[in-house]
Amino acid sequence: MKDGKLMIGIIGCGGISNQKHMPALSKLGEKCKMIAFCDIIEERARKAADQYGEGNGKVYTDYHELLADPEIDVVHVLTPNVAHAPIVVAAFEAGKHVMCEKPMSHSTEDARKMMDAWKKSGKKFTIGYQNRFRPEVQMLHKSCEAGELGEIYFAKAHAVRRRGVPTWGVFPNKSLQGGGPLIDIGTHALDMTLWMMNNYKPVSVNGSVFYKLGHLPQAVEGNKFGPWDPKTYEVEDSAFGYIKMEGGATIYLEASWALNILDAREASTTLCGTLAGAEVRSGMYYDKDELVFNRGHHGTLTEEWLSKTGRVAYFDGGKKGEPGYEEANYWLDAILNDTNPLVLPEQAFVVTQILDTIYKSAAEGHEIQLV
């Protein structure tokens, strides 16, 4: 630390770094300073250094060199999914606190390596599930903690786009991302759902993964982000999982970038409890993010809607109250005050384990037992 501020190194200066992390951290100058920037494309790292390093940020193309800098306290790992594990492990070995973008990893094996390195390091570790910081998600979690839904025994994790294939970066590249919509947006919906249920003990997973629309030229019509190239599309276009948890609770997970469906929602969850139910409804097809409770009351069925939540953009420049800002602020406070981050590594590991097992179950054609 220097002058009471955490010194931060950014590894990966692409889309998620510029959309969420660096704008948010720049608004928290009383707690941190970004002093080092690394990217395999030097021009991107230099641009980030000029904009967020106040003109004197250090620039690297090799993350090992950044990690060797003793002045750096914290690193944010913001690279494609497959690169997470080796960088995070090296960062812990170098004695740094680590924020890693979601998901923890593309594979259970690599996630275990990250967990082992973290436990040996004595440092803080968290994963970038910023949807937990949305106001309606926070309210629902408080309701679940208070037991207002009773026992939550069935849930749906929604991450469905009708046509929302990302056409930038490396999203369609399986060797770098490890998968498509399941690992990209399905991970957020599953994290939210598990957090509400507070059940992180999966017993079995049955998965279906489809490669149906990604290679069809006619399927690109109407894509929100413009046409993708069917010739270079390597990942699934939709995936589904049926997950049984300890105690018998069951989760149905749906994820797609392209699916011929009308009811499209993402970063959403449906919870069914013994006392009440609740739904978070959000995504690019919704004008605002909604929270709806449903229950029986005075002899009739009722619905209770959260009033005037407004739509919260994921990445709107790191403004206070925006999920990316709140995530960064909570993370820095956890380090400064020696408290737990909101997203615990153990929780994020289970998300990766389930997603990885959905892919494996689909490939092998049968249910996979985890205990």
Query: Can you list the residues of the chain whose pLDDT is less than 50?
Result: 309-318
Is residue 12 situated within a structural domain?
yes
Judgement on whether residues 54 and 173 belong to the same structural domain of the protein:
no
CATH number reported for the structural domain that contains residue 22 in this entry = 3.40.50.720
Judgement on whether residues 74 and 154 belong to the same structural domain of the protein:
no
Is residue 343 situated within a structural domain?
no
Judgement on whether residues 120 and 149 belong to the same structural domain of the protein:
no
Question: How many CB atoms are closer than 10 A to CB 2?
Answer: 10
3-state secondary structure of 105: coil
Judgement on whether residues 194 and 146 belong to the same structural domain of the protein:
yes
Residue type, position 128, single letter: G
Closest-CA residue to 271 (of 130, 148, 127):
148
Which pLDDT score, from 0 to 100, does residue 186 have? Answer: 98
Is residue 328 situated within a structural domain?
no
Note down the domain range covering 299: 132-322+351-369
Q: Return the axis-axis angle of helices 345-364 and 108-121, rounded to nearest 10°.
A: 160
Question: Dihedral through CA 53, CA 58, CA 60, CA 65, nearest 10?
Answer: -130
Judgement on whether residues 24 and 98 belong to the same structural domain of the protein:
yes
**Which positions ≥6 away from 21 have C-beta within 8 Å?**
10, 76, 78, 99, 101, 128, 324, 328
Which pLDDT score, from 0 to 100, does residue 56 have? Answer: 84
Is residue 274 situated within a structural domain?
yes
Judgement on whether residues 196 and 311 belong to the same structural domain of the protein:
yes
Q: Contact, 159 vs 181, CB < 8 A?
A: yes
Which pLDDT score, from 0 to 100, does residue 284 have? Answer: 80
Judgement on whether residues 83 and 142 belong to the same structural domain of the protein:
no
Judgement on whether residues 143 and 286 belong to the same structural domain of the protein:
yes
Q: What is the DSSP string of 313-351?
A: -S-SSS-TTSHHHHHHHHHHHHHHHT---SS-HHHHHHH
Q: Contact, 189 vs 161, CB < 8 A?
A: no
Residues 247-303 have pLDDT tens digits of 999 999 999 999 999 989 999 999 999 999 999 999 888 888 899 999 998 999 999
Which pLDDT score, from 0 to 100, does residue 319 have? Answer: 57
Which pLDDT score, from 0 to 100, does residue 283 have? Answer: 86
Plot region of 109 (φ>0 → left; ψ -120 to 50 → alpha; else → beta): alpha
Count the domains in the chain.
2
Give me the sheet containing 290-297, strands edge to edge. Answer: 300-305, 290-297, 277-281, 268-273, 152-160, 250-256, 238-245, 202-210, 368-369
**Which positions ≥6 away from 321 have C-beta within 8 Å?**
none
Q: Contact, 129 vs 345, CB < 8 A?
A: no
Judgement on whether residues 81 and 149 belong to the same structural domain of the protein:
no
Which pLDDT score, from 0 to 100, does residue 313 have? Answer: 43
CATH number reported for the structural domain that contains residue 195 in this entry = 3.30.360.10
The whole-model pTM stands at 0.94
Which pLDDT score, from 0 to 100, does residue 321 have? Answer: 73
Judgement on whether residues 121 and 195 belong to the same structural domain of the protein:
no
Which pLDDT score, from 0 to 100, does residue 320 have? Answer: 65
Judgement on whether residues 146 and 217 belong to the same structural domain of the protein:
yes
Distance, CA of 336 to CA of 124 (rounded, Å):
10
Judgement on whether residues 149 and 208 belong to the same structural domain of the protein:
yes
Is residue 248 situated within a structural domain?
yes
